[in-house]
Amino acid sequence: MPEETSHAAAVQERAAAARQAGCPMFGFDPMAADHEVDPWPLLARARAEQPVFYMPEVDMWAVTRNADVRDMLRDTETFSSADAIHMINPVPAEVTIPPGCPYPDLENVAQFDPPVHTRLRKLMQPAFTPKRVRHRIDEVRAIADALIDDFVDKGRADLVTDYSNPIPIQVMAMILGFPPEAAAKFRYWTDSFFSLLGEPGLPHAKLLEIWEGLLDSDQYTKSLIHERRARPQDDMLSDLILSVSDDGSPSLTDEEITANMHAFIVAGTDTTAIMLSQMVYLLLEDRSRWEAVVADHALIANAVEETLRYRGPIRGLNRKTTRDCVLGGVALPKGARLYWMVSSANLDEAKYADPDRFDLHRKHITDHLGFGAWTHFCIGAPLARLEGQVALEQLITRLPGLRLAEQDIAWVPNLLTPAPASVVVEW
């Protein structure tokens, strides 16, 4: 039987089994418009009745409970990251992938299991320590301030386009070591990448356009690495080039640095932008929250953490089973793709008191899964936290009277990172 036919048959068989077993979540489609905006009541029901369930629309099993997600993340032998994220759109036949190109196989730190992962992570970690990242705090603040300067006299702004989206792009370019003209392309690279991952059935012409951009980004990064090898600077690209292991294993190759630079850009741009928009929206939606932070800047860090728990930017991420196994009482076949729902695990009533309340004074406020856990815990967490804190601090200092101009926000659909389309504010 051709591969595509047998795959379609397997999906139908699993869907029939879920229907027959009376799965209460049967028909949950994370891309459906109503589920995209408000999946929370359904996910609460899943955690109570069917915490691990099959989604035929995307051929994945959703994992919704905090404890199951933690069990899954801890066991990298059974729940592999290799090939866990994959492009759901095909590479067009006209596209020729040059050797050493990080796409479409995504050979980066997020996609490897130990021991390959361990070597890469060790070589990269020094570039991401809170201390190393924090020494650029004044430049991060200057970026946020310059953006506010651009709209402060208008009395009204769309925070998504005017503030949240540009901050991580400019900060990442500065910290990684890309010049501003490349930063202008980051959003396009990131959007293209997430479209290939999360928007099924893209038209052929769009695919060709996206691939042209991705191949261009590969070439661009390789030539930048070449320059830095000749003249290192105070940036992350140079840190990675100069990084040496203490156990004598080889340093990072140009291909590894390219693949991981792109991983940082796609992992750190949209996620941080969405977090910034969400955080300000959540604070303004109930203005007593905003006023609490304006009155007490010590709550800024808590606002970032509680946003990551309550409505973090990542709806769900992937793993793939390496053998038949059981998770949350459900038997999973070898090769099953899992969609572990960060967003649901962070609202689990078995883990958090009053989980549906946005609480700036929550105890153990950093104890959430917004940055994952264990082996693949987000390497960029110190940078994301810094950006979140500085961006909020500058807003509350310069525009303490900020308020929402429109109560409801529209969403841009995506399986992994649905994003607010706009957050219009006035002052």
80: three-class secondary structure by DSSP: strand
Residue 264 CA: distances (Å) to CA of 51, 121, 171: 31, 13, 12
Question: Residue 73 belongs to what H/E stretch?
Answer: helix 66-74
Comparing CB distances to ligand HEM, the nearer of 89 and 277 is 277
Q: How many CA atoms lie within 13 A of 249 on its CB side?
A: 12
For residue 152, the minimal CB distance to ligand HEM (Å) is: 25
Q: How many residues bind ligand HEM (CB under 6 A)?
A: 25
Comparing CB distances to ligand HEM, the nearer of 50 and 414 is 414
Q: How far apart are CA 226 and CA 119, in angstroms?
A: 23
Comparing CB distances to ligand HEM, the nearer of 81 and 192 is 81
For residue 275, the minimal CB distance to ligand HEM (Å) is: 4
Stretch that binds ligand HEM, among 21-29, 86-94, 214-222, 310-318 (CB under 6 A): 310-318
Residue from 355, 370, 418, 420 that binds ligand HEM (CB under 6 A)? Answer: 370
Q: Is 371 in the site for ligand HEM (CB under 6 A)?
A: yes
* Exposure class string for 120-155: b at 16+ Cβ within 10 A, else e: bbebbeebbeeebbeebeeebeebbeebbeebeeee
210: nearest Cα among 87, 299, 124:
87
**DSSP-derived secondary structure for 262-324:** HHHHHHHSHHHHHHHHHHHHHHHHSHHHHHHHHH-GGGHHHHHHHHHHHH-S-S-EEEEESS-
Q: Is 164 in the site for ligand HEM (CB under 6 A)?
A: no
Q: Is 343 in the site for ligand HEM (CB under 6 A)?
A: no
| Nearest residue to ligand HEM on Cβ basis | 380
Contact 160, 276 (CB under 8 A): no
Q: Is 338 in the site for ligand HEM (CB under 6 A)?
A: no
Residue from 342, 396, 419, 425 that binds ligand HEM (CB under 6 A)? Answer: 342
Q: Is 339 in the site for ligand HEM (CB under 6 A)?
A: no
Q: How far apart are CA 136 and CA 240, in angstroms?
A: 17
For residue 6, the minimal CB distance to ligand HEM (Å) is: 28
Q: Is 317 in the site for ligand HEM (CB under 6 A)?
A: yes
In the chain, how long is the greatest CA-to-CA distance? Answer: 66
Residues within window 230-289 making contact with ligand HEM, judged by CB under 6 A? 263-264, 267-268, 271-272, 275
237: nearest Cα among 223, 217, 216:
223
Residue from 372, 390, 394, 409 that binds ligand HEM (CB under 6 A)? Answer: 372
Q: Is 30 in the site for ligand HEM (CB under 6 A)?
A: no
Q: Is 380 in the site for ligand HEM (CB under 6 A)?
A: yes
Question: Residue 337 belongs to what H/E stretch?
Answer: strand 337-340
Residues that bind ligand HEM (CB under 6 A): 81, 109-110, 121, 263-264, 267-268, 271-272, 275, 312-314, 317, 342, 370-372, 376, 378-380, 383-384
